[in-house]
Chain A
Amino acid sequence: MIRVVLPAHLRTLARVSGEVSLDVAGPPTIVSVLNALEERYPMLRGTIRDQVTRERRPFLRFFACAEDWTHEPADTPLPEAVAKGEEPLLVIGAIAGG
């Protein structure tokens, strides 16, 4: 199971209180995890990636094992610790605005 930590507002939208766990076929990548996330929680479609372009929203970034994975190629496998469920993939909102 892949663990994902969402920003508070997206946890509210998805009606979950903590981490979410997802089944992801094959070695997990950012894209495959987001696909699984949106399949399980369709109310999150469009909130992390634009509905049309599928591009990451500019005020969000992805972290795993204390490293920034935001700009890694989309098909890069996530760290083994994430694949094993030992570490979560974090979706982080920018500290910005008021």
Chain B
Amino acid sequence: MSGVRVLVGTRKGAFILTSDGKRKNWEVSGPHFAGWEIYHLKGSPADPNRIYVSQTSGWFGQIIQRSNDGGKTWMQPGTPSGEPTTTPEGMPKAESNKFVYDTSAGTGKPLTTHQWYDGTQHPWEFKRVWHVEPSLHDPDTVYAGVEDAAIFRSKDGGKTWHELAGLRGHGTGPKWQPGAGGMCLHTIILDPKDEKRIYIAISAAGAFRTDDGGLTWKPINQGLYSQYIPDPRAEVGHCVHHVAMHKSRPDVLFMQKHWDVMRSDNAGEEWKEVSGNLPTDFGFVIDVHAHEPETIYVVPIKSDGEHFVPDGKLRVYRSRSGGNEWEALTNGLPQKDCYVNVLRDAMAVDSLDSCGIYFGTTGGQVYASADAGDTWAPIVRDLPAVLSVEVQTLP
């Protein structure tokens, strides 16, 4: 029988939750990297045993970890202990945690500042990796979305990282500014039908797309309206929280913006609002059913000033019509005295016949539904605050 492996990043370590296809009984492994913030971990679609992890700390900086055996053991994919750290020619060897912005004239215009909270220009400073996105085809190729916002790529299993500098250098970079959580590139979506097309999203700059494998990028924010910025319809400056896509329709995108749930049917060229009857259209997560491209999920959050679910009730909202018409899913979720948040990378879907939905909360619960959201049960209740949830469907 096939099974699932749920990868959970938390404020104090990573946890791996495994079950068979029934998804009723779970084994919990962890904490891995105990005490460290695990912003994200994700498995390679090309090799499920290959998992990449972003391990970070306010004290010790950024580490990239990798597993080649499904999370049983881990390694930093730089220079292994005991090996020389320089080549015979004296050049430094690979270091998995070295993220250096590219300011060379050849691959990107020198770009050293972005907009700060007060409107002044501020230097670009690397802080951490928010999101790792393994290639759909090559286990050794992986992308990293970082703060301050940029996208990096490794082609050697995470040993060395190089910026796709055309994103920061395309022209609007000096207008980007941090959201409350920092200026992070948090979403990377690889087009399964076009290897050269990648979507990314940045808080608070907006969504961007490349059609040439990352050399050149363009903002794709037309139709977004953000009343909290000087020009509500500006080309960039929108606080996009997350974007989701169904693999069968790479031109159709769904977005949870700071406020507003949005939809694009033309690869982000234009967006229209599909918040419909949601109790609030503020939120962070959004995801798409594995087999029904018009079935989408969000978790409404009360407001940008009150980052918890409204009315003390944890409700996932599902639309079977690609937005506008939403139904609350509450069976098995707390409907009283609940004040958790669900962060932007903390929802995932499996691809079993009956699609499983998973999400984690800032209260440390990870909930699972094996029936597309009709009923829910907690896998674990008392983890550290959950930052990210991914799921692998195993053969």
Across the interface, B95 reaches (CB within 8 A) one of A10, A45, A59, A94, namely A45
B58 with A97: CB separation less than 8 A: yes
Residues of B whose CB lies within 8 Å of any CB of A are: 34-36, 57-63, 76, 78-81, 83, 85, 93, 95, 97-100, 126
Chain B, residue nearest A60 (CB): B59
Across the interface, B58 reaches (CB within 8 A) one of A45, A52, A59, namely A59
Residues of B within 8 A of A12 (CB): 34
B61 with A42: CB separation less than 8 A: no
- Encode contact with B along A57-98: 1 for CB under 8 Å, 0 otherwise: 101100000000000000000000000000000000110110
B60 with A48: CB separation less than 8 A: yes
B59 with A46: CB separation less than 8 A: no
Residues of A within 8 A of B59 (CB): 7, 9, 57, 59-60, 93-94, 97
Q: In whole Å, how far is B387's beta carbon from the nearest beta carbon of chain A?
A: 14
Across the interface, A42 reaches (CB within 8 A) one of B58, B81, B99, namely B81
A42 with B63: CB separation less than 8 A: no
Chain B, residue nearest A93 (CB): B59
In the complex, A45 Cα to B83 Cα: how many Å? Answer: 14
Residues of B within 8 A of A57 (CB): 59-61
Q: In whole Å, how far is A54's beta carbon from the nearest beta carbon of chain B?
A: 12
With A9-B35, A57-B59, A97-B58 known as contacts, the answer to whether A51 contacts B100 (CB < 8 A) is yes
Residues of B within 8 A of A31 (CB): none
Residues of A whose CB lies within 8 Å of any CB of B are: 7-10, 12-15, 38-43, 45-48, 50-52, 57, 59-60, 93-94, 96-97
Chain B, residue nearest A39 (CB): B85
Residues of A within 8 A of B100 (CB): 51-52
User: Would you list 6 pairs from A and B whose C-beta atoms are within 8 A, ordered by A residue?
Assistant: A9-B60, A40-B81, A51-B98, A51-B100, A52-B98, A96-B58
Q: In whole Å, how far is A50's beta carbon from the nearest beta carbon of chain B?
A: 7
In the complex, A40 Cα to B100 Cα: how many Å? Answer: 23
Residues of A within 8 A of B81 (CB): 14-15, 40-43
A51 with B95: CB separation less than 8 A: yes
